[in-house]
Chain A
Amino acid sequence: MGVIRKITKQEKNAKITVKHPTLKQATHNDIKTTIYIKSSTPFVSGIKRINKFLNDLHKRKKDPQFQCIVLLGMGKATEKTMALGSYFAEEKGKRLEIRTKSVDVIDEYIAEGDDNNSVVDDRDKETSLKKRSLSGIEIKIYP
Chain B
Amino acid sequence: MAVQQSANKGGKKQYNKNQIQKRQRIYNARSIRAEAIIASSSNKDKSTNDLSESGSMLNVDKFINSRQFEIKELQLAMHRSKVSGSTRVFQALPRRLRRRTASHNIKRIPKRMRNRALREMMKNDQERTGANSTKPRHGLTSKALYKAKMSIKLLRLASKSKSMKLALPNEVSASKNRVRQKIRTLQRLIKDGKRHKKNISKLNNVMGSYDNVGVNTLAKIPRGRPKYVKRQLKFTWLPTHVWNAKRSHMIKRWGYQIPWSATQKCFKMTHRIGSNVATSDGTLCMDTSYLGTIIINAKEGEAEQLKETISKLTNSRGVNSKYYKSKKLFQGLIHSPVDGNILGPGEVIWVDEVSVLLRLHPTVFGNVFSHLLTLTNSLKIQDARFSISSITLTGAESLTALTSVLRSTSKSESFEQLKLVSNVTDCNVLPQNLNFGFTAIDPRHFGSPKKIKHGKDQLNIDEVMKLQTNEPKTEIYETLSKLLSQSGRTESYKGQLTMKELNKRRHKMVHADSNVADNGIIPFEKGKDPEIPLYIYKREESNDWVILLPWFWHLPLWYQLNRIPRMYNIGLRQFQQLQYENSKLYFPDDYPFTEAGSIENAVYKRETSRSKWEGKPSGKRVNFSKIKNIHNTKIPSLKGEIGDFFSCDWRFLQVLRNGVSYLSRDGKSLAMINPNRTTQFDQGAKRLIEVVNDLFELSKDLEVENLTIPRSKLPICLSTNSDREPKLVRTKEDICNIPLSVLPVRCKYVERGHMKDNARIYEIPKEHEKYWKEKRNGTFRPDGKLFHDEKTPLVEVYNLIGFISSGAYDLSIGGSCGTGFVDESHFINSKDKYVLVRNVGSNQYRLALLNKLII
By a beta-carbon cutoff of 8 Å, the part of chain A in contact with chain B is: 1-2, 18, 20-26, 28, 31-32, 34, 36, 45, 104-106, 108, 114, 120-121, 123-127, 129, 131
Contacts and interface: CB of A to CB of B under 8 A. Distances in A.
17 contacts: A1-B462, A1-B466, A18-B432, A20-B428, A20-B429, A23-B461, A24-B425, A25-B425, A26-B396, A31-B280, A31-B281, A34-B278, A105-B429, A108-B431, A126-B322, A127-B322, A129-B469
Interface string B406-426: 000000000000000001111
Interface of B: 278-281, 317, 320-323, 326, 396, 423-426, 428-432, 458-459, 461-462, 464-466, 468-470, 566, 814, 854
Q: Which 7 A-B pairs have the closest CB atoms?
A: A104-B461, A24-B426, A124-B320, A25-B423, A31-B281, A126-B322, A26-B425
Contacts of A21: 426, 428-429
B468 to A, nearest CB: 6
A126 B465 CA distance: 15
Among A18, A108, A129, find the residue whose CB has the most chain B CB atoms closer than 10 A: A129
A34 B278 CA distance: 9
Given A23-B459, A26-B281, A131-B462, 12 more contacts: A1-B469, A20-B429, A23-B464, A24-B424, A25-B425, A26-B425, A106-B461, A123-B854, A125-B320, A125-B322, A126-B321, A126-B326
B654 to A, nearest CB: 27
B177 to A, nearest CB: 52
A131 B459 contact: no
A111 B383 CA distance: 36
A77 to B, nearest CB: 13
Nearest to A122: B854
Given A104-B461, A131-B461, A2 B429 contact: no
A116 B429 CA distance: 28
Contact of A120 (B279, B320, B814): B320
A104 B460 CA distance: 9
Contacts of A20: 428-431
Contacts of A104: 461
B458 A25 contact: yes
A25 B279 contact: no
B431 A106 contact: yes
Interface centre among A18, A114, A123 (most CB of B within 10 A): A123
A3 to B, nearest CB: 9
A35 B428 CA distance: 18
Which of B429, B459, B470 has the most CB atoms of chain A within a 10 A radius of its CB?
B429
A18 B464 CA distance: 15
A129 B426 contact: no
Nearest to A113: B321
A50 B412 CA distance: 44
B720 to A, nearest CB: 11
Given A108-B432, A126-B326, A31 B278 contact: yes
B431 A129 contact: yes
A23 B468 contact: no
A142 B278 CA distance: 21
A124 B469 CA distance: 18
Contacts, number: 82
A108 B465 CA distance: 10
Contacts of B278: 24, 26, 31, 34, 36
Contacts of B426: 21-24
Contacts of A18: 432
A23 B396 CA distance: 12
Contacts of A131: 461-462, 465
A129 B322 contact: no
A96 B429 CA distance: 29
B441 to A, nearest CB: 26
A131 B468 CA distance: 13
A105 B462 CA distance: 10
Contacts of A22: 426, 429
Find the residue from A18, A28, A125 having the highest chain B CB count within 10 A. Answer: A28
Contact of A23 (B323, B429, B814): B429
Nearest to A4: B462
B722 to A, nearest CB: 9
Nearest to A121: B317
Contacts of B431: 20, 106, 108, 129
Contacts of B464: 23, 106
A60 to B, nearest CB: 13
B465 A1 contact: yes
B461 A31 contact: no
Contact of A25 (B317, B424, B854): B424
Contact of A2 (B424, B466, B468): B466
A133 to B, nearest CB: 10
Contacts of A129: 431, 465, 468-469
A36 B279 CA distance: 9
B75 to A, nearest CB: 12
B457 to A, nearest CB: 11
A20 B326 CA distance: 21
A16 to B, nearest CB: 12
Given A23-B459, A24-B278, A131-B461, A124 B317 contact: yes
A103 to B, nearest CB: 9
A31 B278 CA distance: 7
A2 B470 CA distance: 11
B395 to A, nearest CB: 12
Contacts of B279: 31
Contacts of B423: 25
Nearest to A104: B461
Contacts of A2: 462, 466
A121 B320 CA distance: 10
A120 B466 CA distance: 27
Contacts of B396: 26, 31
Given A2-B462, A31-B281, A106-B464, A24 B429 contact: yes
B785 to A, nearest CB: 14
Nearest to B318: A124
Contacts of B814: 45
Contacts of A25: 423-425, 458-459
Contact of B322 (A1, A34, A124): A124
Contacts of A114: 321
Given A24-B424, A114-B321, A127 B429 contact: no
A74 to B, nearest CB: 13
A63 to B, nearest CB: 15
A129 B467 CA distance: 10
Contacts of B317: 121, 124
B429 A106 contact: yes
Contacts of B281: 26, 28, 31-32
Contacts of B462: 1-2, 131
Nearest to A23: B429
Nearest to B469: A1
B784 to A, nearest CB: 14
A105 B430 CA distance: 10
Among A24, A36, A131, which residue has the most Cβ atoms of chain B within 10 A?
Answer: A24
Contacts of B469: 1, 129
A32 B566 CA distance: 15
Nearest to A35: B278
Contacts of B428: 20-21
B316 to A, nearest CB: 9
Nearest to A2: B462
A81 to B, nearest CB: 14
B432 A127 contact: yes
Given A18-B432, A24-B278, A106 B320 contact: no
Q: Which of B396, B461, B469, B854 has the most CB of A within 10 A?
A: B461
B548 to A, nearest CB: 23
A45 B813 CA distance: 12
Contacts of A108: 431-432
Nearest to A108: B432
Contacts of B854: 123
Contacts of B459: 23, 25
Contacts of A24: 278, 424-426, 429
